Every structure is written in C-alpha cells, then in structure tokens.
Structure 1
C-alpha cells in the first residue's frame, strides 16, 4: 500500500518556500496545452502536429493568515519573472515548474466572519514535468 504525506510537498517561488496552505488542495499544476494535435483527412490519412508550446499554470491556495501572502502579492505587483518549483518527495517523486514564472495578479481578497483563502495563479513560460 502506498502512502502520501502533504508535508513532503514543497513549493518554492524564487527560492522562497511557500507556507500557510489552505485546507484541501494546496497546489495545482498543469500544462496549458497538449503536446500534439491529431487530425485526419476525409480519406482517413492521419497527421500529428507537434505543439511546441511550453506554457503551464501553477495555482497556489493559501489560508488568509499565511505569511506567504504579502510575498506573492509583492511579486505580482513587481511583475517579476522568477523560478517556481513544486517538489513532491513522496513515494512517487514528482517535480513540476520552471525557471520563468510570473504571478499573474495579487490574490482576490474576501473578508468575513471566517478566514478565507487566497489563490495565486502563476504562469510558467517554460513549464516542465520531471
């Protein structure tokens, strides 16, 4: 039987470890487009078109009291391009990210009776899955 431990997942943005995740999904990472497109002609001839697009998206969800909020808001306001990596050191090792990521905007803010989440979207220009 395999095991998973969320404490073994580390996200770094420009070398800074992100902390204070929300309950539930902490980080979501995905390549924006497929690696290829397949099509066929009316006569059934098939063709594969290789897509050279290397864009990806990393979404980080923090709780309202996370010390990383001000850091990510600052990066968004500076429009600074930085390395972003998500490392899962569980039984199945996974690394995703890239050397050219940019926080798309400061997180939306919601204030109420209970603490709310802050979600950051980071566009990665050279998204890689290792």
Structure 2
C-alpha cells in the first residue's frame, strides 16, 4: 500500500526572484491557463474538426495574510507595471511547476479590515504560462 504525503511548506513561489511568504490558510496559490487548448466543431453530418487555440496566457493567484511582508512587495510590483518572471514549484512527492518568464501583477489587492487577520489576494497575469 502506498500512502502519499503532502506538505504546504514544500511549495515555493517566487516573483522576480523574490520568495513570496505569509500565505493565508486554505488555498494559498491557484493557477490556470486562460483558455482551453482546442475548440471542437461538429458538422451537421457528424464530421469533427479541431481548431488549435494558441493563447499562451494564464493567471496565478496568491492569497496572503494581511500581515505578510509580501503584501507591500506585490503592491509595489503592481504599481510599477514591471514585467517579471513568476514560478510556483511544489517539491512534494508529486512534483509540479507553473508560471512563466513574463508576468505582471494585475493590481493591488482589495482591502478588508476586521478584528481578525484578513486575506489579501493578488492576481498575476502570465503571458507565457506553462505547467509541468
């Protein structure tokens, strides 16, 4: 019997070479390609055609605690309009990697305040998104 193990500490995220830290509880990184890679067309008599969709973009979302030192870093990056590399790597038993060499933080996070530590979410548009 095989029992797999996962540790969130074995997931690293970098933007422009800087490690992102202070992730929120729960889902702290999400990534997805912007579109499907194909579109299927079926004719009146059942003929099938496939169109390749060549959109290389994707989005990665980081969810941080409002106390994370990365909040101010990502806010500065968003305001700078700088194109940077972004990579998320899981070094767990099943290795995974997503990101790209050309990305931009879309905007600073929204803000909420309460009597508890809140979350800050940052979306990063990746122009050459890849997954492994």
Same fold (TM over 0.5): yes
Which of 16, 19, 22 matches 1:17?
19
**Where do residues 40-119 of structure 1 align in structure 2 (5 Å cutoff)?**
40-119=42-121
Aligned residue for 1:76, secondary structure, equals helix
TM-score for both structures, normalised by structure 1:
0.98
Runs (4+) of structure 1 exceeding 3 A deviation are none
- State the shift of 1:113 in Å: 1.4
Q: Equivalents in 2 of 1:78, 1:111: separation in Å?
A: 25
In structure 1, stretches of 5+ residues that fail to align are none
1:28-86 C-alpha deviation (Å, 9 max, x unpaired): 01001001011111111100000110110000000010000000000000111100000
Q: Equivalents in 1 of 2:114, 2:89: separation in Å?
A: 33
TM-score for both structures, normalised by structure 2:
0.97
In structure 2, stretches of 5+ residues that fail to align are none
Aligned residue for 2:36, secondary structure, equals coil
1:1-54 C-alpha deviation (Å, 9 max, x unpaired): 101000000000000000000010110010010010111111111000001101
Name the counterpart of 2:40: 38
RMSD between aligned residues: 0.6
Q: Equivalents in 1 of 2:43, 2:121: separation in Å?
A: 43
Aligned residue for 1:105, secondary structure, equals coil
Aligned residue for 1:48, secondary structure, equals strand
Aligned residue for 1:119, secondary structure, equals strand
